[in-house]
Amino acid sequence: MSKNILVVAAHADDEILGCGGTMAKHADAGDDVAVIFLTNGVGSRGAGEEDSQNVELRDCSAQKALGIVGARSLTRLELPDNAMDSVSRLEIIQALEPYIKSFQPETIYTHHGGDLNIDHRRVLEAVLTACRPQPGSFLSQIYSFEVASSTAWQGSSLSSAFSPNHYIDISQQLDRKLTALEAYSEEMRDFPHARSIKALEVQAKFRGAQVGLEAAEAFVLERSIG
Ligand SMILES: [Zn+2]
């Protein structure tokens, strides 16, 4: 039976970095895979023409990347990029809640709470709060993913390390994940940067080899009901 799968990402590109292969795998299985982006991924440093062009470019890259993995965008909100700690938690939750309620996901993939990026940490808190377990709830699982150049860059004493307990075999979807990352060429860097295509291929193979697979994406199960 087809499932509703929701990815909640702070910035366009986080969804592919964290779970692009898993999204493609769900789409291959006939699931409805949707993404909510909470910021425009660019910010409004000067709110000038260059910024709006960059926002347009980022939105365009996102559409392309999502098309490659068989997903769609549910919405892109306008919370402040790299400054989600400047708005109240309530505001983030209230922005997110209506979309979660109407889409009724069975599974949510989102950020890990130990990331260096403040937006990523706020997103997990908001998802957990917006999805407080209620009688008759539609949601079974919340998983957090790792984002290269944020999850591994947090100071060791500042938060809990990303310690995966759930692996998804993406051997058949890795090529599509890497192609989708190429759609975000503006965000990609040259190897050996953590956010380079080659490093991300190595990461998928490393996560796979940890559990005897050709390639995998790794997750932390934040909550499971049922
Ligand atoms: Zn991000």
pLDDT in the model for residue 203: 98
pLDDT tens, residue by residue, 149-167:
999 999 988 888 999 999 9
Provide the CATH topology of domain 4-222: Rossmann fold (3.40.50)
Please check whether residue 115 is in contact with residue 152, taking contact to mean a CB–CB distance below 8 angstroms.
no
- How far is the centre of ligand 1, averaged over its atoms, from the C-alpha of 136 (Å)? 32
Q: Which residue has the higher pLDDT, 51 or 143?
A: 143
pLDDT in the model for residue 93: 97
pLDDT in the model for residue 138: 93
For the chain, the domains span 4-222
pLDDT confidence band for 47 (50 / 70 / 90): low
Rounded CA-CA distance 97/35 in Å is: 14
Name the DSSP letter for residue 11.
S
Rounded CA-CA distance 66/33 in Å is: 9
Point out which residues pair with 224 in neighbouring strands. 141
pLDDT in the model for residue 151: 93
pLDDT in the model for residue 83: 93
pLDDT in the model for residue 45: 57
- How far is the centre of ligand 1, averaged over its atoms, from the C-alpha of 146 (Å)? 10
- How far is the centre of ligand 1, averaged over its atoms, from the C-alpha of 32 (Å)? 23
pLDDT tens, residue by residue, 199-214:
999 999 999 999 999 9
pLDDT confidence band for 48 (50 / 70 / 90): confident
- How far is the centre of ligand 1, averaged over its atoms, from the C-alpha of 1 (Å)? 32
- How far is the centre of ligand 1, averaged over its atoms, from the C-alpha of 140 (Å)? 25
- How far is the centre of ligand 1, averaged over its atoms, from the C-alpha of 86 (Å)? 16
- Model confidence at 85: pLDDT above 90: yes
- How far is the centre of ligand 1, averaged over its atoms, from the C-alpha of 135 (Å)? 32
pLDDT in the model for residue 160: 86
pLDDT in the model for residue 43: 75
User: Measuring CA to CA, which residue among 161, 139, 147 is closest to residue 111?
Assistant: 147
- How far is the centre of ligand 1, averaged over its atoms, from the C-alpha of 187 (Å)? 10
pLDDT confidence band for 46 (50 / 70 / 90): low
- Model confidence at 179: pLDDT above 90: yes
- Average pLDDT for the chain: 95
pLDDT tens, residue by residue, 88-133:
999 999 999 999 999 999 999 999 999 999 999 999 999 999 999 9
- How far is the centre of ligand 1, averaged over its atoms, from the C-alpha of 202 (Å)? 20
- How far is the centre of ligand 1, averaged over its atoms, from the C-alpha of 17 (Å)? 9
Helix axes 174-182, 49-69, angle to 10 degrees: 160
pLDDT in the model for residue 94: 97
- How far is the centre of ligand 1, averaged over its atoms, from the C-alpha of 14 (Å)? 5
Residue 193, classed as helix, strand or coil, is coil
- How far is the centre of ligand 1, averaged over its atoms, from the C-alpha of 226 (Å)? 30
